[in-house]
Amino acid sequence: MTEMMIEAAGLNKYFSDFHVLRNIDLQVKSGERVVLCGPSGSGKSTLIRCLNGLELHQGGKLAVCGIALTNTRRSIDLVRRRTGMVFQNFNLFPHMTAVENCMIAPMRVRGLTREEARAVAETYLRRVHVEDQINKYPAQLSGGQQQRVAIARALAMSPDVMLFDEPTSALDPEMVGEVLDTMTEIASEGTTMICVTHEMGFARKIADRVVFMDAGAIVETAPPEEFFTQSRTPRAREFLSWVMH
Amino acid sequence: MFQPYTWNHVFFMLGGLGTTIWLAAIALVGGSIAGSILALVRVAHNPLLRNAARLYIFVVQGTPLLVTLFIAYFGARWIGIDVAPVVAIAVAFSFYAAAFLGEIWRGAIESVPHGQREGSHALGLSYADAMRFIIVPQAIRIATPPTVGFFVQLIKNTSLASVVGIVELTRTSQIVSNATFKPLDVYLTAATFYFVVCFPLTLLSRYLERRLGTQTK
Ligand SMILES: Nc1ncnc2c1ncn2[C@@H]1O[C@H](COP(=O)(O)OP(=O)(O)OP(=O)(O)O)[C@@H](O)[C@H]1O
Ligand SMILES: [Mg+2]
């Protein structure tokens, strides 16, 4: 039996009277890699942030890692322990070194000792190839290195689902590749991933499915080849012609 | 008829300086404890607590310090608490400092970028842990220069305690001035004492501002 990692049914969300998410149905199986794309303002960030309770939804059902997310403190805490998130702006803790950034949650949330947490942190920092930089502060790292540390920090909690919100959009072009390579490696290890990105080459390479959103609704869902070559909706075709250049 | 202005007078004023520093130190310690609680309550989720803290800050900041001192001085007797006036005044300064430090620190906590909270929460850190390990350490850096600046103001404001008869530096200066009739010499000495205490703090504040400014990119 394949476990369902994300099950959203009829999900709705409003920012006061603005309807941001409209009847979202989304199911993601364990090990599946989903790329979420769509024009700016279509609600991609809002959707992915609902998945770990950074935004609260107002209607419909949502279960993450088998836990019903009901906007209660307890369900949100449970879900956050099992999901990792990588942000566009890294959100590394500037007063902590790379390795300390990766140790704090294992120590405080999983209750590991300092030594155990350090071992875990070093393992994941090695996996994202920043093992030479672990004692540097974020300000001393390049953008690409910072984002890879942020990925290691999320992985250090051994999440069941990894959420990425445009992880390469804030990077200088020459650093995009190294972060995408790291993400490709993580994808190849069978991690369940939901990734908001406009990097269509990356989507083609790793995604099992591309989900296209427009104006708060999921408009089209298709395997990448199909989505890129024969998308059904005009909105998706318009979007593709725009991002491909 | 007037005494000559002698070293004895200067030593007497030094004693007053001691009381001044003592008052400021009590206010800083008391104000810091109450101020940090106020700051945390001001950013808490509970609207009742949040508004109570706001009201407190509103009232204390909206009352002249001198009036607060009078209230503490006469109020302590009136409600039958038998404390030395200097203690009542130290407590009043603490309440005063708490209101200002609370606001300085609330501002510092709120100026830590929102992404830091989201980063903490996404990792599963609790509200308390996010505050303790992520937000407050960064807020302290932001708050240090204005806190030191406020402390300098506080030391100077303790001169108001002379009005309710606390024998601190300004009051000792008045006494010496009346006895010697050399007000200019006496008050220049007092100004020098205030300066010697406050100037290093001003320098420290500038230094911290520069150092912390270069650390955060
Ligand atoms: N906190 C908020 N309050 C009010 N409106 C918001 C808020 N956050 C987002 N919105 C609005 O909701 C809509 C969806 O925003 P969202 O950030 O999810 O879009 P997005 O698809 O991620 O866009 P982008 O590609 O620009 O990141 C936008 O119109 C945005 O202005
Ligand atoms: Mg977005």
Arithmetic mean of pLDDT, A133-143: 96
**Chain-chain contact of A80 with B124 (C-beta, under 8 angstroms):** yes
User: In this complex, is the C-beta atom of A155 within 8 Å of any C-beta atom belonging to chain B?
Assistant: no
Q: What is the pLDDT of residue A236?
A: 92
All domains of chain B in start order, with CATH? 7-107+145-215 (1.10.3720.10)
Q: Would you state the pLDDT for residue B217? A: 41
Give A177's contacts (C-beta < 8 A, 6+ positions apart): none
Structure confidence by residue, pLDDT tens digits, A43-67: 999 999 999 999 999 999 999 999 9
Contacts of B117 (CB under 8 A, 6+ apart): B130, B134, B135
Q: Mean pLDDT, chain A, as a whole number?
A: 95
Given pLDDT bands bounded at 50, 70 and 90, which one contains residue B215? Answer: low
- Tally of CA atoms within 13 A in the half-sphere of B16 that contains its CB: 29
Domain ranges, residue A141: 4-244
ipTM: 0.93
- What per-residue string of b and e applies to B106-145 under the rule 16 or more CB within 10 Å gives b? bebbeebeeebbbbbbbbbbeeebbbebbbbebbebbbbb
Q: Does B126 contact chain A (CB < 8 Å)?
A: yes
Contact between B160 and B66 (Cβ < 8 Å):
yes
Return the residue whose CA atom lies nearest to atom 13 of ligand 1: A41
Question: B63 CB contacts (<8 Å, ≥6 apart)?
Answer: none
Q: Return the residue whose CA atom lies nearest to atom 10 of ligand 1.
A: A15
Nearest to A130 by CA among A172, A182, A88: A182
| Helical (H) or strand (E) element with B144 | helix B136-157
Q: What is the pLDDT of residue B206?
A: 83
Q: How many domains does chain A have?
A: 1
**Paired sense of beta strands A161-165 and A83-86, if any:** parallel
Flag whether pLDDT at B211 surpasses 90. no
Assess whether pLDDT exceeds 60 at residue A1. no
Locate the chain B residue with the closest alpha carbon to A88.
Answer: B115
pLDDT digits (tens, 9 = 90+) for B92-142: 999 999 999 999 999 999 999 999 999 999 999 999 999 999 999 999 888
Residue A34, chain B, CB below 8 Å: the answer is no
Tokens 């990894």 sit at which residue?
A162
**Mean pLDDT confidence for A20-29:** 96
What is the reported pTM?
Answer: 0.88
**Does pLDDT of A2 surpass 50?**
yes
Q: How many beta carbons lie within 10 A of that of residue A230, not counting itself?
A: 9
What CATH number is given to the structural domain containing A50?
Answer: 3.40.50.300
- The sign one gets for the Cα dihedral A66, A69, A74, A79 is positive
Looking at residue B91, its pLDDT comes to 87
Assess whether pLDDT exceeds 70 at residue A142.
yes
Which of A89, A94, A157 is the closest to B123 by Cβ? A157
> Over 80: is that where the pLDDT of B1 sits?
no
∠ CA A15-B135-B103 to the nearest 5 degrees? 85
Nearest CA owner, ligand 1 atom 2 = A15
Q: A107 CB contacts (<8 Å, ≥6 apart)? A: A113, A114, A117
Chain B CB contacts of A154 below 8 Å: 122-123
- For residues B76 and A18, the model is more confident at A18
Using a 10 angstrom Cβ sphere, with 0-12 exposed, 13-18 middle and 19 or more buried, the burial of residue B196 is exposed
Q: Determine what percent of chain B is predicted with pLDDT higher than 70.
A: 97
pLDDT (0 to 100) of residue B2: 82
Measure the CA–CA gap between B110 and A172, rounded to whole angstroms: 29
